[in-house]
Amino acid sequence: MWFSLFLFNCANFYNSSFNNTRITANAINTSCEDIVNIIDSSGQIQKLEVYGASADGLDIDFSDVSIDYLKINGAGNDCADFSKGNYVLGSVTLSNCGDKGISIGEQSTLSIKDLNVNHANIGIASKDSSITSIHKSHIINVDLCLDVFQKKQEFFSSTLFLDDYTCNSNKIFLDDNSNIFYNEL
């Protein structure tokens, strides 16, 4: 059984359980802060697509969610933002992101099978006690490929594991306490 939801505005999912769910949000000409916001939820989303966000395309907090296919095209801020949870992603395509392609923070664990980022200020940001593992990543048209650091004092350093990794820039930021490990997955 699957559930499909087509949105032309913004959606908030609170304390929800997903099972083979499909979500498509076309947010052009809306003023929502986050187009799809998922809080304190769990389960499996088969396909999630967001188009034309004025701020974040996807924001997930306090959740345990897997997403098989994620596509976000056009976000005024971060394309995808994950905090305080456990997340597993399959194929991820993020393009035309105003700030970060993907942001992971606040004690999250995130695993991605295949990540593609095209056009963002920062490709991947992993911060504040987060552990991020990306098996395959291709990042182009970014100012900063990787940003791995402690931002908030109540958290600690971050760790990023990258296996098959390419980026068109060689710029990264890594604070003194955080780590990036290449080809160790």
Task: Give per-residue pLDDT as tens, 67-86.
Answer: 999 999 999 999 999 999 99
What average pLDDT does this structure show over 125-151?
94
Of the two residues 136 and 177, the one the predictor is more confident about is 136
Task: Give 78-87's long-range contacts (Cβ < 8 A, gap of 24+).
Answer: 78/102, 78/103, 79/50, 79/53, 79/117, 79/120, 80/56, 81/34, 81/56, 81/105, 82/108, 82/110, 83/59, 83/108, 84/108, 85/60, 85/61, 85/109, 86/110, 87/60, 87/63, 87/111
**Stretch 109-134: mean pLDDT, rounded?**
96
What's the confidence (pLDDT) of residue 25?
A: 87
pLDDT digits (tens, 9 = 90+) for 23-53: 988 876 667 778 899 999 999 999 999 998 8
Q: What is the residue extent of each domain of the chain? A: 51-182
The model's pTM is 0.91
**What is the per-residue pLDDT for 185?**
66
Q: What is the pLDDT of residue 180?
A: 94
Q: What is the mean pLDDT of residues 113-128?
A: 96
Q: Average model confidence (pLDDT) for the chain?
A: 90
The answer on pLDDT for 87 being more than 50 is yes
How large a percentage of the chain has pLDDT more than 90?
Answer: 73
